[in-house]
Amino acid sequence: MLAAIDPDADSLVLHASRHGDGERTLEMLYGLDEGEPLSPARFGLSVHNATVGVYSIASGNRRSQQAIAASGGEWAALVAETRGYLADHHSSLVVVFSDQPVPERFAAYAPESFSAAVVLRFGREPAAGARRLTETPLALDGPTVQPLDIIDWLMDRRERVTCPISQRGWQFADLPS
């Protein structure tokens, strides 16, 4: 996905995930409990920024890359960070929102989630076929935004996405012709 949207591997990259790879972390903790030594390689891939780190190494992208976890407000955090970068005169950036289910042992304590990822490019100047993202304050309750919600929204299966944590909603507006 990233190679298609950033073929030159020269974009700023923001990545958000609520749970990351919890299964890998649990395996390490169980191993420590059983007296096994901690593997530096396994630990390195269990941290929240591992995804953008591996992307940086594999693609050669040495631009700024940021990993975000926001306790269910990941989409809102991605949008806020994106606006900050664009306001700081960056012309565009790549945004990745992904997640995996929490390990079975903790599934009762977290909203159900599925393995999914979505990648978008945000820019100061509209590209061909682009849509404008608009934000509205909303007072609401409901489930947190997950990557599959963003995919449905991008495919026009829903009018807007909302984040009860940030009390915000987002919808697309057509660009002037």
CB 103 within 8 A of CB 22: yes
Token pair of 70 as six digits: 């926001």
Out of 11-15, 34-38, 39-43, 63-67, least confident range:
39-43
3-class SS of residue 120: strand
Tell me the mean pLDDT in the region 32-51: 83
Within its chain, how far is the Cα of 144 from the centroid?
Answer: 13
- pLDDT tens track for 69-107: 888 899 999 999 999 999 999 999 999 999 988 888 888
**In order of start, what are the domains of the chain with their CATH numbers?**
2-124 (3.40.47.10)
Residue 48 has pLDDT above 80, yes or no: no
Residue 177's pLDDT is 67
Q: For the beta carbon of residue 76, count every other beta carbon within 10 angstroms.
A: 24
Q: E strands, the chain, where?
A: 12-16, 65-68, 92-99, 116-123, 132-137, 160-163, 168-173
Best CA proximity match to 92, nearest among 107, 100, 79, 82: 82
Q: For the beta carbon of residue 5, count every other beta carbon within 10 angstroms.
A: 13
- Non-local CB neighbours of 89 within 8 Å, separated by 6+ positions: none
CB 107 within 8 A of CB 120: no
139 vs 93: CA distance, rounded Å? 29
Residue 5 has pLDDT above 70, yes or no: yes
Per-residue pLDDT band at 44 (split at 50, 70, 90):
confident
